[in-house]
């Protein structure tokens, strides 16, 4: 699979929730879907850890990755490193009975080593959609042998997501949103299709202003002007903060409706782009920020 930009160390914390790959089906060693021993599970991926807690199965966790920062209780678990820069030795050092990893974890060489180890490895798919969240919950629940609890949680999440989607159904003029991941080096790194940002924008009843590429990519001034964003969307607590002054000082941004009105929405990165148990609330909050009282109850 092809990466659309080079990783920069300063941006590494961003990609735990943003990694811009097209998700693949769940995978596991020898097709394993249920851990034989759930007593010591290493959870890799913030949304995976959230699902485990939402299912009431946190007592099975023996470790987490650095993107697993919610709920706060998860911070007490040993940290085996950033999900995109795992060390097999680090993960295996906690003596897990199973490894539950979100698709996109890496590097590939490390994942290959983990899959070939004696520890069962189950990969959880990542699709940035309503159905993708439900699938994630069901896969995690099945892996932990609590499929019934997972189905109950998936049903609850389905109802919440359906309700929040209905809140923006009647809005006729959809806002055009430009998600800005970074402004480092004076370049606007924005979200295209097949990304968590694209998925959350659509769920909130808006339109991704970017077309023509997938994942995250630096945009030219011409491309920004062509995108015609009404609103800029950024995140916090997931890497270097973006300065609003620097953002609106960008000539291309300044030429857009979003720039002229200095309209930017900033939300917590894990909350906004996690695609887990809190996503319905994040969609609602984003929709209210975009449309105000046009969002119906």
CATH 3.40.50.1980, the chain: domain bounds = 9-166, 176-294
State both tokens at 276.
Answer: 């887990």
Nearest to 4 by CA among 187, 190, 157, 279: 190
Coil, helix or strand for 42? strand
pLDDT category, 160, cuts 50, 70, 90? Answer: very high
Question: What is the distance, to the nearest Å, from the Cα of residue 87 to the centroid of all Cα atoms in its chain?
Answer: 22
> Which pLDDT score, from 0 to 100, does residue 241 have?
84
Is the per-residue pLDDT at 4 higher than 90? no
Mean pLDDT, residues 192-213: 97
Find, among 113, 140, 110, the residue nearest to 125 by Cα. 140
* Predicted confidence (pLDDT) at residue 27 exceeds the cutoff of 70: no
Tokens of 278: 């809190």
87 pLDDT exceeds 80?
A: yes
Q: How is residue 161 written in tokens?
A: 């997501």
| CA pair distance 144, 100, nearest whole angstrom | 9
Please state, in angstroms and rounded to a whole number, the distance separating the CA atoms of residues 94 and 274: 25
Strand ranges, E, within the chain = 27-28, 41-44, 61-64, 98-102, 121-124, 176-182, 188-191, 207-208, 216-219, 231-236, 264-268
Q: What is the pLDDT of residue 17?
A: 39
Among the ranges given (29-38, 80-89, 99-108, 265-274), the one the predictor scored with the smallest mean pLDDT: 29-38
Share the mean pLDDT of the chain: 90
Question: pTM (2 decimals)?
Answer: 0.88
Q: Which CATH class is domain 176-294?
A: alpha beta
Nearest alpha carbon to residue 294 among 213, 194, 204, 208: 204
Report residue 8's pLDDT band, with 50, 70 and 90 as the boundaries.
very low
Please classify residue 118 by burial: count the beta carbons closer than 10 Å to its beta carbon, then call 0-12 exposed, 13-18 middle and 19+ buried: exposed
Contact 126, 102 (CB under 8 A): yes
pLDDT over 70 percentage in the chain: 89
Q: With the C-alpha atoms ordered 135, 59, 116, 47, is the resulting torsion angle positive or negative?
A: positive
- Domain spanning 9-166, CATH architecture: 3-Layer(aba) Sandwich (3.40)
Distance CA 98, CA 94 (A): 11
Reported as a single tens digit per residue, the pLDDT across 242-264 is: 989 989 999 999 999 999 999 99
Average pLDDT over residues 16-41: 58
């Amino acid at each position: 699979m092809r990466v659309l930009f080079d990783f920069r160390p300063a941006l590494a914390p961003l990609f735990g929730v943003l990694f811009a790959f097209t998700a693949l089906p769940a995978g596991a060693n020898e097709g394993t879907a249920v851990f034989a021993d759930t007593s010591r599970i290493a959870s890799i991926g913030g949304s995976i850890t959230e699902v485990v807690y939402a299912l009431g199965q946190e007592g099975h966790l023996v470790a987490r990755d650095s993107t697993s920062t919610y709920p706060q209780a998860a911070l007490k678990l040993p940290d085996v490193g950033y999900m995109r820069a795992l060390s097999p030795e680090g993960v295996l050092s906690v003596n897990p009975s199973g490894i539950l990893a979100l698709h996109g974890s890496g590097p590939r060489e490390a994942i290959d080593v983990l899959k070939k180890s004696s520890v069962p490895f189950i990969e959880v798919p990542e699709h940035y959609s309503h159905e993708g969240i439900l699938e994630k919950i069901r896969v995690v629940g099945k892996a932990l042998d609590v499929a019934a609890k997972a189905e109950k949680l998936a049903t609850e999440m389905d109802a919440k997501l359906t309700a929040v989607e209905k809140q923006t159904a009647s809005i006729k003029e959809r806002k055009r949103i430009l998600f800005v991941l970074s402004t480092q080096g004076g370049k606007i790194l924005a979200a295209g299709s097949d990304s968590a940002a694209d998925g959350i924008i659509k769920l909130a009843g808006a339109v991704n202003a970017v077309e023509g590429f997938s994942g995250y990519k630096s945009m030219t001034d011409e491309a920004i002007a062509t995108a015609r964003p009404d609103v800029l969307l950024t995140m916090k607590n997931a890497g270097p903060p973006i300065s609003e002054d620097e953002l609106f000082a960008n000539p291309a941004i300044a030429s857009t409706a979003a720039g002229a009105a200095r309209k930017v929405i900033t939300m917590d990165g894990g909350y906004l782009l996690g695609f887990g148990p809190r996503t319905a609330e994040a969609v609602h909050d984003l929709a209210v920020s975009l449309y105000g009282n046009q969002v119906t109850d």
